[in-house]
Amino acid sequence: MKVKTAAKINLTLDVVGKLENGYHALESVFQTVGIYDEVEVVLNESGEITLTCDSPAEFGFIPCDERNIAYKAARRFLDENGMVDGCEIHISKGIPSQAGMGGGSTDAAAVIYCLQALTGRSLAHAEKLGADVPFFLTGGTAYVTGIGENIATAPDYSGRILVIAKGSEGVSTAEAYSLIDALEAPAHPDTKALMDAISSGGEEYVHFGNLFEQAIKLGSVDRIKSVMSANGGLGATMTGSGSAVFGLFKSYEEAEKCSALLRTEGYFAQVCETVSKAFIEL
């Protein structure tokens, strides 16, 4: 079975507390977007899991063994269901790494989706694989709290035109959270105002926001936002813990022009739309 599996952005992302187990409590609006990896899963009788990956050199190193979250998803699925089968996984990467776009988590979700379809069985507690994995099994627009495991449907935000761009700088999640903890009197994004604006058709982009952006302060993020804002981009904001930036555009013409400008400066830049589901079967 083969699927295209979508990336995500955070229209808002806030850290609202710290749990007793040391994890951070989040409040966010997640949105799937039309930048995809392709994931193929073949179930076999080998009893082994193999993973191969095609990835552009600029995306950096992608582990193709038990360190990869897609491999971990297959292992957990087979073990939890008491299956002695093996499987072959192949991933073609289109989602940049260390971008805050959930590239690894969406691959893991795609493996679960395929294995569920191939076997008629399911996997409990997908959040144990990674905080973003349960969202990708739902996709679309979602209000997300806790560590990512509490997912509620939010007003539909599909069909919007975006440019998503990223520099060569990456951010580790652990480093990002340590910087968040060091913030003093940060300005928190207003997630409720964002959802109200989407529902009412208001100017939702004025409520885009990401607490991590205040903590991390990457030069590439500032430059990308500046180019977007000067070329028709609305509400340009970093996604996740970085380092990709998305901006909303009113037309494809403006979006394509801005994307081309960013590419001339050496950034990854792609025009896409917000989409209502994570998986497209091929």
Burial class (CB in 10 A: 0-12, 13-18, 19+), 274: buried
Q: Who's near 22: CB < 8 A, 6+ residues apart?
A: none
Instruction: Give 88: exposed, middle or buried? Use CB within 10 Å, 0-12, 13-18, 19+.
Output: middle
40: Cβ–Cβ under 8 A, 6 or more apart, which residues? Answer: 1, 2, 88, 89, 90, 91
Identity of residue 35:
I
257 tagged catalytic: no
Residue 8 designated active-site: yes
Ramachandran class of 102: left when φ > 0, alpha when ψ lies in -120 to 50, beta otherwise: left
Q: Phi and psi of 148, rounded to 5°? A: 120, -5
Which one of the listed residues 8, 93, 166, 225 is annotated catalytic? Answer: 8
Instruction: Compute how many other C-beta atoms are within 10 angstroms of the C-beta atom of residue 264.
Output: 9
CA distance 55 to 62: 8
Select which of 37, 93, 132, 225 is catalytic. Answer: 132
Which are the catalytic amino acids? 8, 132
